[in-house]
Amino acid sequence: MTRLFGTDGVRGLANKNLTAPLALRLGSAAAHVLTSDHSSSKRRPLAVIGRDPRVSGEMLAAALAAGMASRGVDVLRVGVLPTPAVAYLTDFYGADMGVVISASHNPMPDNGIKFFSKGGHKLPDSVEDEIEHTMGQLPETGPTGHGIGRVIEEATDAQKHYLEHLAQAMPRRLDGIKVVVDCANGAASEVTPRAYAAAGAEVIAIYNEPNAYNINDNCGSTHIEQVQQAVVEHGADLGLAHDGDADRCLAVDAEGNIVDGDQIMAILALAMKENGELRKSTLVATVMSNLGLRLAMDAAGITLRTTKVGDRYVLEDLNAGGFSLGGEQSGHIVMPDHGTTGDGTLTGLALMSRMAETGKPLKELAQAMTVLPQVLINVPVSDKTIIESHPSVVEAIAQAEGVLGSTGRVLLRASGTEELFRVMVEAADEEQARSIAADLAAVVAKV
């Protein structure tokens, strides 16, 4: 049986395979599992629900709230806010659980549901499995009368508290920095420009007018060409592009050159080491990070640890080892001292803070690492579970690795949210990387 939870919650086409009845059952089961240790408290369990602005979020939020309230949980709806804001507010309000309704960078028709435990932490696989199992075990009826939870619409102070948190996390002023921010017509549209302006930056916001249907539509971190063009047109010092739920951040320098998550991690790792903030001189990334990041960290005396793809796995390693910085090439950057999950707005503040601290332009800071040619091809497949072990794929990988030797690497992995298989090749020469990646993709497509 296919697991309901993927690498980042439950995702699907809204009202098709991610329906209101499913959300109702998910809410009930999650409430049962995540508030099971609340019996000793004198107050009723509390859940926080936030969402991005896509139209299906309204429907799914109502269903989730109903499911939770039916199990005796009070629900505080905080409206449209970034995923990291909901994680923070789950802890701030002392809630027993939090929920974000968002499909991140996916197109508007998709949506997703991800849960946080008490303190605003993402759930381990074992707890997600327990929730999934519980969905089929709960009786249809729950508490009655005074035992039914209340739904509070909506917390009017939620954005204010998140903005205060950001200001405290990054106190350095950004006066004199001109930034273009692409909000993806998503959850960042209001709060993120406000956060940057409050820190002193001159902010030019684009794609910051969500209408429930235009999230990620030719904008945001998956269409970075928009912010590249705007930075050059406005003569800005940099541009920042967020995704639909604003837990990731990519950047471009004043000339419009892309500064990806690996380069941002390199910049921040060096800054934190210099300031005595990089605990154990260690950076945590994923297997998708560019080989150039490892080389740069080696040269700086910083240990680079790698995990499976997914910021939840980066988080697990950060917490287990007591490290202070990690992230993904896609722009999910995690700083555990300031948040329990990746925070795109916080990342933007930290990056601009380093510019202000050094007086150096982003282009110069990004030279902290040399990006080796890396080619990624997404191959649509009918069954991604059989690809990696298929004999033809195993043989093709071995041949590719034999050609590359120690000058590059090959990585094949299934997407955690879509029916895709990702083929990634790194090499010293871009043409060679493209050729090998194309050959491998062709093999995968035939399986």
Residues that are catalytic: 104
CA distances from residue 132 to 2, 23, 34, 121, 383 in whole angstroms, order as listed: 11, 12, 12, 18, 22
324 is in an annotated binding site: no
337 is in an annotated binding site: no
245 is in an annotated binding site: yes
243 is in an annotated binding site: yes
CB-CB contact of 404 with 354 (8 Å): no
Neighbours of 275 (CB within 10 A): 10
- Residues placed in the known binding site for Mg(2+): 104, 243, 245, 247
- Residues placed in the known binding site: 104, 243, 245, 247
